Structure 1
């Protein structure tokens, strides 16, 4: 199996899964239960910035969005892991890691190599997200402005993005006293020391074009490919996901990114899914970061994920 972790206001690398102790983080729990665990680093992050011909200092390196993760990255990862292990894969995704998986499944990609998928804090629609900074950025076409002014890399810790956040924080009703909570929601179960470790390394860079694509998703209310202008881009039809694909979906009532109404929209598109192949979990007090860093995530989520995987044959 492998785990992917992406965040909607930048990208996280694989370290985000390992911030808690071995007894409390999902990769080690799965490994202790006999699973062979592979952790993915998204392109553009610290451990995934090499390229056979392009350099991260050049704009061409950043000319991609999550469509490219669907078309190239996930298939390459699946092919590599399948070749190394000779086994079908149990997939775990969080945040954008769920989005690229769902989009892939709609097009029939990966499903022949897949045993099951667990989607935590799932993102397919962003119309109701409550992270005020994200909503403001999307409505103000901030990503498009950054591209037009020659900033192809979106680095959350870089000066241009820091200045951008400061500017957005001046808007009425925006409280930036706790940016982490402002973006992810009111996490019930993440302690301060874990957040401090997170902020030492995360979030990581992504492409500005990727942020534009996410903004398009938030503005349009549909799950579609990148809109270059002109003809409307093709839709990722979630109803096309194979009805017999085992899915575990867990979402939280306090999640500012994976909003309850947006998840209900996703589940509505899965209403024809085989009932015995779809497991849905709702945790009323969970927000976005609880799924990766919650101190009680083992008891709330990870034990159920492990049991779900063990039921797949």
Structure 2
């Protein structure tokens, strides 16, 4: 892999060009399935969650969750034939992070993908999606391509509506009164929002396992990510008024170009691997295989709202975990106070386990330590035993089975029965 210094400038220049292409609404037609076959895309990179799971001998079901405010989310249930119907209870919900989807948990393959590892351990696993990605881009009445209000959400709404709806659906369909929850990055942060804003919902969870949990992001080290998020935060109003509400969708120029390039094995590490390492300023050579890079960029970025990215920009400019800041006048109208209210992290009462990486430049260790001090019931805080472990390693590293799964398994076993 090329050295950090030799690729940084090119990475940032390419990123800027791709971001501009998205912002000014340049469009490319998505490459259709037939053309991808002609171009010799690997078949598995073209599969959806259910098709990919089935390809490796797992059984997957697609379920539909409808939130109280009308968003339609696909949720996948996956289990392994090796379990012979002997499933452990209660069910487990696994939730992705920003710009990802449920597919992220399969992309590293059966040897390392966390969804496969959990299914092989005979847990009744439900893999969720949050509004705005390609599995959750529907609404009962709003058209995401025509109705700008579809995109008026951030993690505030995801935590208030999506996480509770997913929990209720899983419990209703399994007959259990409680479940176990694993949240990665935004998937953990939105759980914290739910606990603060929806009294009683935390009582439906036995244990929460936070993988690089994202609450405040005051100390985010990645300068490229920081500049992107804070820039969007500063420009959100003019961009929204120009009709730009969705960002980094699956069929955006960024995603289509990355998908094409990253299928070429001899380019995947020098270009795609270095893009991830350079953009997020956290190098871990060899952790994510070339095969996984190709799968990753078939599904990443998965799309979200401009408003969500603006929300992350704000979180880098405050030392609190708080609601969206609309400015004093709009805050007064929306919240009844000039400052955005802080989320009540003391309401996150279920036992909490936190795993983090020292080399994570998105969710910095200082913000993890701050979060630990704010939470009332932390069972264990574990730094992954690899000094180069970074944010994307959680979902995509070939070493997930060794580095984080043993701790995940330990606590799920403690809170599960056969």
Q: Which runs of 5+ in 1 are unaligned?
A: 163-175
- C-alpha separation between the residues in 2 aligned to 1:247 and 1:92? 10
Are the aligned partners of 2:202 and 2:348 in contact in 1 as well (CA < 8 Å)? no
Q: CA deviation at 1:150?
A: 2.2
1:153 aligns with 2:261: no
Q: CA deviation at 1:240?
A: 3.1
- Residue 224 of structure 1 is aligned with which of 322, 328, 336? 322
- Residue 208 of structure 2 is aligned with which of 102, 113, 117? 117
1:235 aligns with 2:342: yes
- C-alpha separation between the residues in 2 aligned to 1:193 and 1:201? 13
1:132 aligns with 2:223: yes
Deviations 1:222-259 (A, max 9, x none): 111112211111110223322xx221100001001111
SS at match of 1:226: coil
RMSD: 2.4
Q: CA deviation at 1:82?
A: 0.5
- C-alpha separation between the residues in 1 aligned to 2:116 and 2:155? 28
Are the aligned partners of 1:75 and 1:109 in contact in 2 as well (CA < 8 Å)? no
Q: CA deviation at 1:68?
A: 0.6
Deviations 1:35-89 (A, max 9, x none): 1001112212222212111111121211111111111111111110010012211
1:29 aligns with 2:117: yes
TM-score, normalised to structure 2, is 0.66
What residue is the counterpart of 2:105 in the other structure?
17
Q: CA deviation at 1:203?
A: 0.9
Equivalent positions of 1:11-90 (< 5 A) are: 11-58=99-146, 59-87=148-176, 88-90=178-180
1:190 aligns with 2:284: no
Equivalent positions of 1:174-185 (< 5 A) are: 178-184=274-280, 185=282
Q: Which runs of 4+ in 1 moved over 6 A?
A: none
Q: CA deviation at 1:194?
A: 0.9
1:213 aligns with 2:304: no
Are the aligned partners of 1:144 and 1:212 in contact in 2 as well (CA < 8 Å)? no
Change in 2 beyond 3 A, CA 1:42/1:267: same
Q: Which runs of 5+ in 2 are unaligned?
A: 1-91, 257-271, 329-337
- Residue 293 of structure 1 is aligned with which of 396, 399, 405? 396
Please tell me whether Structure 1 or Structure 2 has the larger radius of gyration of its CA atoms: 2
Of structures 1 and 2, the one scoring higher in RCO (CA 8 A, sep 6+) is 1
Are the aligned partners of 1:106 and 1:238 in contact in 2 as well (CA < 8 Å)? yes
Q: CA deviation at 1:160?
A: 8.9
- C-alpha separation between the residues in 2 aligned to 1:213 and 1:263? 19
